[in-house]
Structure 1
């Protein structure tokens, strides 16, 4: 079982103005992820990342925040600041295929540049300060209750696609589907950092659960008891992050509003999966506003010009 809780240590020293350390809570034998900006890199807003044994880190003059930190969703740059995105409140939805699934209820954005937003790590000091956070709209979006993750179960793939995988030894961070990996863009710097680690360090990083893969959609898990057996019915709806909020299709064959809905029915002996997909019509569309509350949909390209993207769509979903 993964120890899901993490502690955040924030340190100031002479070499760097601010250092953020993320370590597994109550695990002094584990590793820690360290992020800081060297004095030489301040002009271009670049940061240094290290993954070191926790026992080798000097925690003198560190301020520790130990409450309700469940992993990192990524890093985002906004108005010349870098914000680390942390999941700080989650709900256990249930267990699928012996793995826990969680709904993200609350996130916290802390700056790697300064301490202006450290108050969000302390529940006792929140008050109404969060309203003034520069990323408040993104915070509210991530807290809508439509994002889910699992530390050791790949929610981005259907059950059937998991059985079809040939590279079972690869990490879920390497095999996650780009179609449903919603935070891949903001997590990419950590994924690139992971590529340069030693194999043993990669394994420790993956097992720690510090880097989260989130899907957007809906998940419901229900257990059903009968006289002779116990069953589980699970519904997973995955909303694609490709071509989001745009009508029709793009050049890569991705349609808007593409949703993959999977019903999983299982007991101790077997597992069944039924998959349905829906999405916008796979042609290039243009939406024009003619009159108040009236819209007109037109083909943006002729059928011949759109055939390449059309064929790509069905090849990808074959």
Structure 2
């Protein structure tokens, strides 16, 4: 199912940079100005909307990115401008992100190198989000056994844009109304038939964001007990009202170690800490 661009970003430069974020399905809006986020009523929106010009439409918003630049912070609104459907799970459509845009919430800056690198990662085809129908609370970032567990979110290692939600939560904005939650990994959804019955088979691999990095450069465990290359792979079957979920996890050896070297095959293992120094992180 094709997803329409349901968000619109409006912008004004004077007297101070300011943005309005509208949703097609909502009467209210969000005002982003001077590093703050405020929810405006329909009446408040109508009173100031004429001062703004349309900047772009988007499929969804990932949140607000904050980058240090000298002694100040730069603020960017991260919008999804391209996506493709990979299938449907229960009452939620799952989409792969193909294009994003970083909209500066201050005067234009020359901070392009880091933004270009982040955009390249987000547009790589490894990030997914779900779009639930009304009344559905399906969350792609958690396994079937944890669906509906609101206490799990704070410790969710597969919720990649969790930090981008923080500025909105700080100002008591309901993030589920405005922001997407994304995973990094792979999603494959197929329809299978068992006699006269139709089932949905889903394979979802979620990469942890806690100790992310490329192979050979990020190895082992960190002081918080998170290991590199940690992946949760969930195989789920949906048949009528029944759900069967089988979860496998894998990750790097939970010790402080590395593989220095440039040539593949020449990397030798090297432990960075002794047994006693490894124990606290290993036990976590």
Superposition TM-score, scaled by structure 1 size? 0.75
In structure 1, distance between residues paired with 2:263 and 2:226: 30
In structure 2, distance between residues paired with 1:176 and 1:238: 17
Structure 1 vs Structure 2 CA RMSD: 2.7
In structure 2, distance between residues paired with 1:22 and 1:292: 48
Alpha-carbon offset, residue 242 of structure 1 = 1.0
- TM alignment of 1:118-137, pairs within 5 A: 135-137=115-117
- DSSP 3-state at the match of 2:60: coil
Question: Pick from 125, 150, 155: which aligns with 1:145?
Answer: 125
How many residue pairs get matched? 267
Greater shift in the superposed pair: 231-240 or 88-97: 88-97
- DSSP 3-state at the match of 2:17: strand
- TM alignment of 1:102-121, pairs within 5 A: 102-114=95-107
Per-residue CA distance 1:247-304 (angstroms, 9 max, x = gap)? 1111221111000000001111311011111110111113333888622111222223
Name whichever structure is richer in strand by fraction: 2
Alpha-carbon offset, residue 156 of structure 1 = 2.1
Which residue of structure 1 lines up, in the alignment, with residue 41 of structure 2? 53
Asked if structure 1 preserves the Cα contact closer than 8 Å seen for 2:64 and 2:75, the reply is: no
Alpha-carbon offset, residue 134 of structure 1 = 5.9
Greater shift in the superposed pair: 283-292 or 144-153: 283-292
Greater shift in the superposed pair: 228-237 or 49-58: 49-58
Which residue of structure 2 lines up, in the alignment, with residue 11 of structure 1? 12
Which residue of structure 1 lines up, in the alignment, with residue 134 of structure 2? none
In structure 2, distance between residues paired with 1:230 and 1:137: 43
Per-residue CA distance 1:125-182 (angstroms, 9 max, x = gap)? xxxxxxx67611111111001011124422222112337x4x5xx7xxx725431111
In structure 2, distance between residues paired with 1:212 and 1:153: 12
1:308 aligns with 2:280: yes
Superposition TM-score, scaled by structure 2 size? 0.84
1:180 aligns with 2:181: no
With over 3 angstroms needed to count, the CA separation of the structure-2 counterparts of 1:87 and 1:78, relative to structure 1, is: farther
Asked if structure 2 preserves the Cα contact closer than 8 Å seen for 1:20 and 1:36, the reply is: yes
Which residue of structure 2 lines up, in the alignment, with residue 158 of structure 1? 143
Asked if structure 2 preserves the Cα contact closer than 8 Å seen for 1:73 and 1:214, the reply is: no
Asked if structure 1 preserves the Cα contact closer than 8 Å seen for 2:62 and 2:161, the reply is: no
Per-residue CA distance 1:78-136 (angstroms, 9 max, x = gap)? 5453221111112222211221212111100111113689xxxxxxxxxxxxxx67611
* Runs (5+) with no aligned partner, structure 1: 38-46, 118-131, 313-318
In structure 2, distance between residues paired with 1:108 and 1:291: 36
1:215 aligns with 2:177: no
1:34 aligns with 2:40: no
Alpha-carbon offset, residue 53 of structure 1 = 1.7
